[in-house]
Structure 1
């Protein structure tokens, strides 16, 4: 066990042998910290939270009460192999959030980037790869093997099917089921998720130039109404565009997909 002298740990907390507790870490009452857990500088773990498994949590991240982080996957194929959960810096993991370690069949690691917000009741399943500045709203769920790009927002009570990719800057509406890949900067909504346009509000908030937004709008129309298959339209788009934002969409569509794509209606 390695506990920095500046850490503040409530007497009722259980810290198992082998845990590594960094400088200025705060651990509240009745928490359980497993023996293979590492908490980096300035982490805060509030009362009754459980952090277990081969779990690393980056600096200044806060884990709120009753969250359960690092438990084994909810996957019947899991056979007790050693797998990991890696969480970045400055994340906020709110009440009753659950995050699982990976499986050997999915690379063995569940990863979460920096500056993410997981609101109460959100779930991140095994082998998911979550980017930076992602927001998962209350009771949303990310299934196994999903890949979520930077700056994505997943609305409350939304569900994302296993193996789905969500491109950077996309927004998923509340109470939406997403069963296919979502292109970057897209807006998806409806009970069975439909690609309903671009996340224009998010692009403007991010300070994307008018020229790039215009290029994205034109690209979306070409993907919606152009000739040929969806991937063929994307390849033609890639030959014509000078916009880095449009290029991101082209690269996303032409990459490998396990689920196919949500396409414009």
Structure 2
């Protein structure tokens, strides 16, 4: 362990306040914490035996599936606090391939040991369910991106999701960095790279956002929400 769970910057996300020291110590024994993975490193391959879950401590990953023609279809992006690999638990095999898209620190949780520990420590079971629920909610947010009909609406929704997830709260982050490439964003949203570029340009022209390379600033949150066709009655504050 390079850093204990109590002193991790994500401890408020990962650890319930009800955990006592002994319970944290039990959890730490099954977690390999803070291993650095360089950009473009494969964490696991589609079809290999499922052994562990991964919690993103810093950086970002993408997951993708490969079809019979060897085409890659991106299925998700994972940011700090997200759990990678949950969808593979029931199949006992990884359903996708996970690759880092920037230098990334990951905590590796041995799933078999976690399952055994949950039997003897009820609070750890509650912890696991809570983290799983958070991850599913994040997946639902990303699914909203694909439910939009136009390229501009899909991209606007995607940026709102990234903004909120970057803040790790119910509020939006006014300024944030896009770890993923424009090509990867287009792949995930089902858009050609050129179409994605035009959608970015349109949001800039509408004065919804300001874009400098991969740095995004939300200028008008209400306009961006309207472009996304999301519920504009939700929180409109920035952190």
Q: TM-score, normalised by structure 1?
A: 0.27
Structure with the bigger percentage of helix: 2
Bigger Rg, which one = 1
Higher relative contact order (CA 8 A, sep 6+): 2
TM-score between the two structures when normalised by the length of structure 2: 0.29
